[in-house]
Amino acid sequence: MSESGGSNSTTKYLLLFAAGTALGSAVAFGAAYGLARYYAAQLEEKEVRKQRSVSPSRGESLKKGSSKLTPRSSQSQVPINGLPPPYMGRSSNSGNQHLSAARGTRGYTIDLPARANSLSINPMTASPRVAAMARVDSTQDDLISGGYDDHLQGASGAASRRETESNPDSALAYHRAPTISSSGTALPSAPGFPPTVPPTGPPAPGGVPGVFFHAVPAADRANKAAKEVVKGGSLQYQHSNNLPRNVSGGNLQVLAAVAAQQGVPMDKVVVVDASKKQKQELFSHADDYCRVITPEVSLNDEIEEVTSMIMEMMEMRKKWLFQPVVNPEQRRHEAEAATPREVVPDPFEYKPVPASSHVYQMVDGVMRVWSDSSRQHPVFQVPGTASEFFTEMHRILRYSALGPVKSFCHHRLLLMEQKFNLHIMLNADKEFLAQKAAPHRDFYNVRKVDTHIHHSACMHQKHLLRFIKSKLRKEPDEVVIFRDGKYLTLKEVFESLNLTGYDLNVDTLDMHADKSLFHRFDKFNLKYNPFGQSRLREIFIKQDNIIHGRFLAELTKEVFTDLEASKYQHAELRISIYGRKAMEWDILASWVVANNLYSDNNVWLIQIPRLYNVYKETGVIDNFQQMLDNIFEPLFEVTVDPATHPQLHVLLSQVVGFDMVDDESKPERRPTKHCPPPQEWNSKHNCAYSYYAYYIYANLYVLNKLRESRGMNTFSFRPHAGEAGDIDHLVAAFMLCENIAHGINLRKSPCLQYLFYLAQIGLCMSPLSNNSLFLDYHRNPFPTFFARGLTVSLSTDDPLQIHLTKEPLVEEYSVAAQVWKMSSADLCEIARNGVLHSGFPHACKKHWVSEHYWRPGPEGNDIHKTNVPNMRLKFRYDTYVNEMQLVMGGALAYQARKAPKSSSSSRTLVTATAGSATASATASATASATALLRQVQLQLQLQQFQLQVQQCQLQLYSYSSFSYRRRRADADLTAGASRRDVEQRAVRAQPWRASIASTNNTRRV
């Protein structure tokens, strides 16, 4: 019994011991587990505090678990005009859903993992600092009872709250913002914070209000006022991808309150996906691109002299070019307009204008104007006479033929071309992404202007053929022409040609250019005759005929209809004034006004054919002066008194420029300063191109000044130049014109090509037209000009002879894109250039290009309107600035080098004059020489000061480099390097100290 009882006791004690051991282990494990949880919470709290204290300005992305710091746009949560900022609404889900302002901002968004209560911080300031709104779910009872801090639950919320309480100057400091109730009133504010004015407006829809906190940096609370994003009259808000499209009641309540506060109807409030954040970041970094930087050019005597010549030629252009008194910068306050009709609602309305007292008379081929009939003081003088113009033109020709000038310009042009190629290699993907981020815009819906198209050939050949067939079928008995002493109907005309409606096709029309026209401009002009018959040209393509141009007017309206249907294509139709008789202006004006020929997609240019020799041979005129009188006298008469030609006054309000056309390949004698004036030019030979150019320009200059003083529109001079012929055509255009048509001969002169680049003269090029007449398509310099930075645009010239489709301008772009492998950014940049070259109103260009379209670089571009990436225009602007700095710097250096010689020559002049003239003449010469010397001395002082500044900069650089080398040497010596190693390293760093180091080594040996 005792042994069994002892055994039972031992077993009992063993069981009790085992149970106690297990219980102790469980308690110890629980304690250890509790301590581990406690320390884990502490570590998590510490990590969160670190993440919150990181400055967002470093642009870092922090990742801890599923928490993330992502770049976003931002604006400070500061009341605007006394109104509270927009608030985020309460969501039915407890995840990281949020609502925030979506557009035009940049900053950071901290999205925490989904928990029972989450904190979503959405910055809305314009700097990359943290300024956000923190939303925590709560109930209305707790709000009214004042239990604010209890709603910051979870480790992250508690840590942020405790950090703020312990350190008011921490990176995130929270303050209370008002909560909007369902009735639109503000709920009680937290203690210590002033109440905020509630937004006004109608009560919002139902919903449970939430608690809102603003998290802003303590040092940034007084940041600049936030800027609300209101585009197109609507507020845009962003939601995360997992937020339902049917916004919850709390969110809707907040949106309604903000909309009422801003005066925006609820049907205009748009909810935008948060996935568009990347597109906004692309816009915020639009100017960041991989820039190609080349070594600076080391100036020498030759380069300085060349750049001085280039600047002298640029000053000649500045002297002659007409500049309006009111520039676009002074008109920046004017509103935008989508169409010209918004600027002038009724283009054919005649508003009487009182006559002025100006008196005018043609003197030596140029109209001279006086303010009254006394004719004492002429006004609106031309910058120079014809002799001065031809002298300066020959000087430019002489400069451009110099070898150093050609070498310098050729080198700079090649360098700019390679810069563009490198830019495309490095930034093509960025430009493509920027274009993808621009909503709605692509190549098809950006504005494109056909800046060079002739009205007589503005339709394609199938269009003209269809129109002729229609008229022959519907109006066969219409009397259309007077020939051979009798009037003929349309049917009789075709019967005389042995043609019927069934026989007509595009081949028999025979108006398309073929390979037989290459270098045959005379044959090309014959292609304007339908079926090879000049009588049909008079019937269908002339406005001065027996039917008063009715057929041509109807055909023009159909072309306008096609342009308006495309919406984004525009044209500048060129219509002819020949100068054979003064009545041509009234005939043209009555044709336009009587047929109501107007379209928002078109403006008019006047082209003047250079056909003096033809009119002289036929006896229409006796000398060149009569041709100028027929062209310009009606224009001055209607400007002084519009009542004399009311229809012409209406027409001129729609004209934007003058052109000068004809075959440039004809041989001619280059004019000189000894050329006879126009009244003495009675030869049977035609005048030279530059002779025409000067006298048309001079009369336009005076006319523009007169019209400007009368508050009327002015005209630009935009002739054909550089399609063929001599290089002096381009020199005259460089001196006188805003932009030109063609310009392919610039490839023959590097100097003029570089001058056209520096002056940013527009080139309205037509590669398909050149391919038919003067230059094969694959040899056309258009892609080279474009890469080098010349402002080129594409145009059609003659769709009737050249193109095959209904949209000839798009056909021109399409062929260029395929043959030369142009990207969408290239095509859109060319289209933008076309708009800038055009004569459409200032308000339309603001709407089509940018609010500040006249400014260079990205400041004058809006990618949402042009689809041209800002980085492309930034590259163009940086390259242009570099070239201008090089040219101006070299020219100034050349002047500084030549100034002492000018000073010595001035002193010699003073001495010679003082010894040979009378006392009064001596005093006058001395005064003028003294003034010249004073000017030279001032220039020398300025140059010496600039040299001193440069020397100081070099000394400062040398001192900083020497300090660095000294510290490096001390460090090396401290590390145990020998003194000789240190000196050898210094010699390798500065070769110019090699002699000193070698001397020290010799002395040491």
Active-site residues, by number, are 742
Distance of CA 524 to the CA centre of its chain: 37
Q: DSSP characters for 417-465?
A: HHHHHHHHHHHHHHHHHHHHHSSS--GGGS-EEEEEEEGGG-S-HHHHH
Beta bridge partners of 600: none
How many Cβ atoms from other residues are within 10 Å of residue 428's Cβ?
13
Cα radius of gyration (the chain) = 40
- The H or E element that residue 166 is part of is helix 154-166
The two three-digit tokens of residue 84, written as one number: 């509270």
DSSP state of 806: S
Residues with Cβ within 8 Å of residue 489, at least 6 apart in sequence = 476, 477, 478, 479, 480
Strands 173-176 and 211-216 come out as: antiparallel
Helix, strand or coil, per DSSP, at residue 1003 = helix
Q: Whose CA is closest to 816, among 762, 769, 777, 784? A: 777
CA atoms within 13 A on the CB side of 79: 12
Task: Name the residue type at position 525.
Answer: N
Is residue 585 within 8 Å of residue 596, measured between CB atoms? Answer: no
User: How far apart, in whole angstroms, are the C-alpha atoms of residue 311 and residue 755?
Assistant: 9
Compute the distance between CA of residue 359 and CA of residue 374 in angstroms, rounded to an integer. 9
Look up residue 13 and give its DSSP letter. H
> Which residues, in sequence order, are CB contacts of 742 under 8 Å at separation 6+?
452, 720, 721, 722, 723, 763, 764, 765, 766, 770
Please give the Cα distance from 280 to 728 (Å, whole number).
Answer: 50
| Contacting residues for 523 by C-beta, under 8 A, at least 6 apart | 516, 517
Contact 910, 326 (CB under 8 A): no
Tell me the pairing of strands 99-101 and 132-136: unpaired
Angle separating helix axes 808-820 and 824-837, nearest 10 degrees:
140
CA atoms in the 13 A half-sphere facing the CB of 953:
6
Q: CB under 8 Å to 974, separation ≥6 — which residues?
A: none
Residues 6+ apart with CB under 8 A from 96: 111, 112, 113, 114, 118, 120, 240
In whole angstroms, give the CA distance from residue 283 to residue 853. 18
Strand 270-273 relative to strand 359-363, pairing:
unpaired
Indicate the SS3 state at residue 173.
Answer: strand
Q: Could you tell me the two tokens for 847?
A: 């709407």
Nearest to 313 by CA among 214, 376, 399: 399
In 855-869, alpha helices (H): 863-866
**Chain mean position to CA 150:** 55
Q: Within 10 A of 938 (CB to CB), how many other CB atoms are there?
A: 10
Give the residue among 946, 945, 994, 875 at the shortest CA–CA distance from 423: 875
Question: Percentages helix, strand, coil for the chain, rounded to the nearest 5?
Answer: 55, 10, 35
